[in-house]
Amino acid sequence: MNVLGIETSCDETAASVVGPSGVLADIVHTQLIHVEFGGVVPELAARAHVEKVVAVVDACLARSGVSHPDAVCATAGPGLIGAVLVGFCYAKALAAAWDVPFLSVNHLEGHMLSPLLDDPAPEFPFLALVVSGGHTTLYACHGLGEYEILAATVDDAAGEAFDKVARMMGLGYPGGPVIDELAAKGNNRAVDFPHPRVRGTLDWSFSGLKTSVRSHLLKNDRASDEDVAASFQRAAVDCLLDRVKKAAKQTGLRRVVIAGGVAANSELRLRINQMGLEAYVPPRSRCTDNGAMIANVGRLHLMAGRRDNLNAGVRPGWSVAE
């Protein structure tokens, strides 16, 4: 079954065709319009998706060699409602025109199962650390559609912390890649930033870490940008991996996947492989938002017999573990 997946939940307009042999085409257009605002502006994102979605899907179909997919799916949430609506409505229109099944896909399930597109792919059950600009959650994935939340952030998402720290340092948006690059040239022991905990849970809190970076930056004898970036990155990765380690111990699950934009981080990618667990780390291009992760999840559910009605609506606050 060749499935077209469309993703427009934030600032990437993306489409992909996934078939029995894997990804046939995967086109991602990243909106640059937000850079000057230091963050994604929802209304501008929606408008920019309207301008690009048809061209991105056309290019994807042409590259895949599949002119008439067997099914169409799209991100229904979570995400920015106006942005989600664009890809979702276009996907439904294509499904109606081609007279093929349509399916709504949860964006976080897309990230979580993106390592299933790789070889070797993890087998259920596994732990999934989904770390993006809007979410930081650790799941126990027992099977397709069977997800349990083990830990989540009580305030900022990890990617948001990277973005906010970069903004404080005047490094632009998105912050993750810039901090990652600067950190490579710095001493990650230069500043001892705190490792906040939420008592009695595996949950994270990143706002305290962000605030302590802000306080440090105001000091007269502050460390260099490289050292601050490296020290902040070490603290953030320490916090993320600490919960993975504890969850692996509590659940007995030894397989772990990382996914979402922050999974592109060099230190996280390196250190998850040094924990004595069976780690699955998708290629960087598959960590940030893309259409292949949506087509992949849609295809898995379609093959399990799921279909959505064409009057299905978007679900901007859709939890993957409801």
- Give contact residues for ligand KG4 (rule: CB under 6 A): 10, 132-134, 159, 162-163, 174-177, 180, 260-262, 264-265, 288-289
Tell me which of ligand KG4, Zn ion, none is bound by residue 186, counting a contact when its beta carbon lies within the kind-specific cut-off of 5 to 8 angstroms: none
Choosing among ligand KG4, Zn ion, none, which partner's interface includes residue 175 (Cβ < 5 to 8 Å by kind)? ligand KG4
CB 171, min distance to ligand KG4, A: 11
CB of 66 to ligand KG4, least distance (A): 25
Q: What is the DSSP string of 167-184?
A: HHTT--SSHHHHHHHHHT
Cβ nearer to ligand KG4, comparing 265 with 296: 265
Q: How far is the CB of 298 from ligand KG4 (least distance, A)?
A: 17
Residues that bind Zn ion (CB under 5 A): 132, 289
Place of tokens 């025109």: 97
Measured distance CA(174)–CA(35) in Å, rounded: 8
Contacts of range 55-61, beta carbons closer than 8 Å, 24 or more positions apart? 56/13, 56/14, 56/15, 56/27, 56/29, 57/4, 57/6, 57/15, 57/90, 57/94, 59/15, 59/25, 59/27, 60/4, 60/15, 60/16, 60/17, 60/25, 60/26, 60/27, 60/291, 61/4, 61/17, 61/25
Q: Output 24 or 157, the one with its CB closest to ligand KG4.
A: 157
CB of 30 to ligand KG4, least distance (A): 9
Q: At what angle do helices 175-183 and 225-251 cross, to 10 degrees?
A: 100
Please say which residue, 109 or 163, places its beta carbon nearer to ligand KG4.
163
DSSP 256: E
Asked if 227 and 186 touch (Cβ cutoff 8 Å), the reply is: yes
Q: Please state, in angstroms and rounded to a whole number, the distance separating the CA atoms of residues 136 and 162.
A: 12
Measured from the CB atom, the residue of 61 and 240 that comes closer to ligand KG4 is: 240
- Kindly tell me which of 6 and 264 has the beta carbon lying closer to ligand KG4: 264
CB of 134 to ligand KG4, least distance (A): 4
Do 223 and 232 meet the contact criterion of CB atoms below 8 Å apart? no
Burial group, residue 20, by CB count within 10 angstroms (0-12, 13-18, 19+): exposed
C-beta of 174: minimal distance to ligand KG4 in Å?
4
61 vs 293 by CB, closer to ligand KG4:
293
The entry of Zn ion, ligand KG4, none that residue 45 binds, CB within 5 to 8 Å by partner kind: none
Work out what residue 5 binds among Zn ion, ligand KG4, none; the CB cut-off runs from 5 to 8 Å by kind: none
| Least distance CB 1 / ligand KG4 (angstroms) | 26
Token readout for 316 is: 């901007």
Which option in ligand KG4, Zn ion, none does residue 64 bind, with CB closer than 5 to 8 A by kind? Answer: none
Q: How close are the terminal C-alpha atoms of the chain, in Å?
A: 28
Residue 307 Cβ, how far from ligand KG4 at the closest point, in Å?
A: 26
The verdict on whether omega for the bond into residue 78 sits within 30 degrees of 0, i.e. cis, is yes
134 makes contact, choosing from ligand KG4, Zn ion, none, with CB < 5 to 8 Å by partner type, with: ligand KG4
CA distance 88 to 81: 10
Give the Cα separation of 72 and 68 in Å (integer): 10
Nearer to Zn ion, 2 or 75 (CB): 75
**For ligand KG4, the closer CB: 174 or 298:** 174
